[in-house]
Amino acid sequence: MSVPERNMALELVRATESAAIAAGRWMGRGDKNGADGAAVNAMRYMLNTIHMDGVVVIGEGEKDEAPMLFNGEKLGTGDAPQVDIAVDPIDGTRLCAEGQPNAVSVVALAEKGTMYNPQHIFYMDKIATGPQAADAIDIEAPVEENIRRVAKACHKAVEDVTVVVLDRPRHEHLIRSIRNVRARIRLIRDGDVAGALMTCKAESGIDLLVGVGGSPEAVITACAIKCVGGNMQCKLWPRNEDEAALCREKGMDLNQVLTLQDLVSSDNVFFAATGVTDGEFLKGVQYQGDMIKTTSLVMRSKSGTLRYVEALHQLRKLEKISGIDYAPKS
């Protein structure tokens, strides 16, 4: 089996840029489906131009829910190499629709058969941190203990540790525990891919992400964290007894700690993200008449290289060569 040797992250970024440009036109319009549909169509078009034989392992939906990029969908030209693809055309669809910060478009890619498939489980319990505290976290330890370990690894007081948590009723007990040790909390409405990646960016001031979030986002995040040298651990989180029973029937261990290596076993992972709305992680799309500006991050785990890419796109030329509608929405 051929393996990807060229830096495919530099090709993936064209797909995230296209998705972000298309979705950004819908920012603040209150239409999640409109934004997501625009991002999906633009991303699919660009991914199909890449020389690869790709299959979506982590997608947004099933085939009968088009235009979603569905699990099992084939992308690329059909040429080597064979790869697994994880996509989220907009991580934070609601954030985009409401004009809130930190919506991003993301794609990850690795050799075929190396990404974890959560199957019917839509949620995972997660813990993630950046390189400085990579060896300190343990998802089976209480959150208070993890905060103390991260504080020690980062050479700071517990009170200075900042923890990202999705703002959900299911996290009320978690939030109380964090406040009990007097650590700082950054509650986010959506977008836990960006939330986890902020732990890997020193200037963000974020040290740790904890709590239950989407399974697809967990695998995508793992790909990114593997590129930057951080760490992530997860456990399957069935929503009800039916999902738990199906896990047992399929031999999926609900007590297993899924390590970074379990989530993506390849050592040659490619990741690209482009900001849709402004955030701590990336700047959002800026429309300047016929010019459009995007800010992206591209990474490859094999080399450990991170590149920030600022691009200026000419609207008329883009539409002429792509067939994608990037024009303002009436």
How many C-alpha atoms does 18 have within 13 Å on its Cβ side?
A: 25
pLDDT-derived band of residue 197, with 50, 70 and 90 as boundaries? confident
pLDDT-derived band of residue 317, with 50, 70 and 90 as boundaries? confident
What is the pLDDT at residue 67? 57
CATH 3.40.190.90 for the 123-263 domain, yes or no? yes
Annotated binding site for substrate: 91-93, 123, 168-170, 190-192, 214
**For residue 63, pLDDT beyond 50:** no
pLDDT-derived band of residue 4, with 50, 70 and 90 as boundaries? low
Range 252-264 average pLDDT: 95
- Within this chain, domains 8-113+268-319 and 123-263 share the same CATH topology: no
Written as six digits, the tokens of 269 are 């992972």
Greatest Cα pair distance, the chain, in angstroms, is 57
Q: Specify burial of residue 147 (Cβ count, 10 A radius: 0-12, 13-18, 19+).
A: buried
CATH T-level topology, domain 8-113+268-319: Fructose-1,6-Bisphosphatase; Chain A, domain 1 (3.30.540)
**Closest of 155, 193, 177, 207 to residue 58, by C-alpha:** 193
What is the pLDDT at residue 276? 97
What pTM does this model have?
0.91
Range 67-75 average pLDDT: 85
- Residues in CB range of 255: below 8 A, 6 or more apart: 235
Element (H, E) at 198: helix 192-198
**For residue 54, pLDDT beyond 60:** yes
Element (H, E) at 195: helix 192-198
Range 91-99 average pLDDT: 93
| Mean per-residue pLDDT of the chain | 91
**For residue 62, pLDDT beyond 70:** no
Q: Which of 146-160, 198-212, 315-329 has the highest mean pLDDT?
A: 146-160
What is the pLDDT at residue 329? 66
Annotated binding site: 36, 60, 88, 91-93, 123, 168-170, 190-192, 214, 217
CA distances from 64 to 67, 71, 90, 99 (A): 9, 11, 20, 29
**Closest of 81, 84, 72, 87 to residue 41, by C-alpha:** 87
CA angle 236, 145, 197 (to 5 degrees): 55
C-alpha 123/C-alpha 144 separation (Å) is: 22
**For residue 35, pLDDT beyond 70:** yes
Annotated binding site for Mn(2+): 36, 60, 88, 91, 217
Map out the domains of the chain as residue ranges. 8-113+268-319, 123-263
